[in-house]
Amino acid sequence: MKKRYLFPDDYMADPSVHVFNGRIYIYPSHDIQLDNVENDNGDQYVMQDMHVLSIDGDPMTAPVIDHGKALDIADIPWAGRQLWDCDCAEKDGRYFLYFPLKDRNDIFRIGVAVASRPEGPFIAEPDPIRGSYSIDICVLHDDADGEYYLYFGGLWGGQLQRYADNKALENPYLPEGAEPSLPSRCVRLSKDMLQFAEEPRPVQVVDEEGRPLRADDPHRFFEASWVHKYNGKYYFSYSTGDSHLLCYAVGDNPYGPFVFKGEILSPVVGWTTHHSIIEYRGKWYLFHHDAAPSGGRSWLRSLKVCELTYTPDGHILPIPGTDTPV
């Protein structure tokens, strides 16, 4: 299968990709060179700014433009550390960048920054979104009702296990064995795009009998939610974290439940796997990252793209994460 490294000049990861004004815009995390501090808390991911990239043409071949720094944590009033995976949505000619960032108490919150152009620069709101927590943002603009739905959540360093019913727990709780796995969250955004319009709801990934996937299932949700629509169905895709897969599940509305369908990408080089899926000029593409160019250093990742194919009945054909099994 043909794949392309998009931006060999720098280490970037977690590509959230959208088509705005007929052009592909990529909103990646900006990885930083540092001595290895790799641990399960994600302390190796210390990103401090983000750039916007764009492509006008076939993403497998057309030039990739770096529009430069679009947001810097030095300009975010409530910033602590670690600017992780963001996503961008357009409404009425304004662009809203949603980003997870630790506050000064080392708690992940979700912030919003606004721009008049898709490449920024983005100006951060003074405070995080009220009631927000955890990481890994995806925004769906639903053509069915015109609303915007924000998905978020990630385990371990992403802190999702610290919450239940949208309230902080005194003691984090990670389900085990046959217990239902922890779900991602979905919330409708307010009309001004700056707050949640409701309480976030759990996004259940269920098997064909409607049972939530178990905590010990290698296909259960871990982080990196992404939602796209295909033939009127909602495709919820995500990373399984410690089993290193990208998987997908299909539902009938933005909140789910989503019925598990299969794997999209087998393990890549590097611990994390994270992606987005778009249609552009009649073809479908998977954007993701791996750590092969950095020799497998998981905190130095590189952006990749390849074509994605559906079967006639709407299944996604699995893609190999590497040319050789890992």
User: Which positions are annotated as active-site residues?
Assistant: 14, 223
14 near ligand FUB, judged by CB under 6 A: yes
Q: Is the Cβ of residue 253 or residue 326 nearer to ligand FUB in the bound state? A: 326
Q: Name the DSSP class of 19.
A: E
Q: Give the shortest CB-72-to-ligand FUB separation in angstroms.
A: 17
Find the shortest distance in angstroms from Cβ 228 to ligand FUB. 17
User: Given candidates 87, 136, 217, 290, which one binds ligand FUB under the rule CB under 6 A?
Assistant: 136
Annotate each residue in 193-232 with x if it binds ligand FUB (CB under 6 A) or - if it does not, as one string.
------------------------------xx--------
- The token pair at 114 is 């606004």
Residue ranges in 19-58 that form contacts with ligand FUB under rule CB under 6 A = 29, 45
287 makes contact with ligand FUB (CB under 6 A): no
Count the residues in the chain: 326
CA distance 251 to 246: 17
**Is 84 an interacting residue with respect to ligand FUB (CB under 6 A)?**
yes
Q: Closest residue (Cβ) to ligand FUB? A: 272
Amino acid at 306: C
Cβ at position 54, least distance to ligand FUB in Å: 21
Nearest to 68 by CA among 57, 79, 54, 81: 54
Closest approach, Cβ 299 to ligand FUB, in A, equals 8
The smaller minimum CB distance to ligand FUB, of residues 40 and 56, is found at 40
Q: CA distances (Å), 146 to each of 142, 212, 255, 279, in order?
A: 5, 29, 15, 19
Distance of CA 245 to the CA centre of its chain: 14
- Rounded to an integer, what distance in angstroms lies between the CA atom of residue 203 and that of residue 193? 21
Q: Check binding of 265 to ligand FUB (CB under 6 A).
A: no
Identified binder of ligand FUB from the candidate list 85, 90, 119, 217, rule CB under 6 A:
85
274 binds ligand FUB (CB under 6 A): yes
Cβ distance to ligand FUB smaller for residue 85 or 217: 85
The angle subtended at Cα 171 by Cα 102 and Cα 126, nearest 5°, is: 25
Q: Which of 212, 234, 27, 224 is CA-nearest to residue 140? A: 234
CA distance 175 to 123: 38
Residue 81: Cβ within 10 Å count: 15
Q: Give the residue with the Cβ less far from ligand FUB, 54 or 159.
A: 159
**Cα dist. 186→17, 166, 255, 282, 293 in Å?**
19, 11, 6, 28, 34
Residues near ligand FUB (CB under 6 A): 13-14, 29, 45, 84-85, 135-136, 154, 223-224, 272, 274
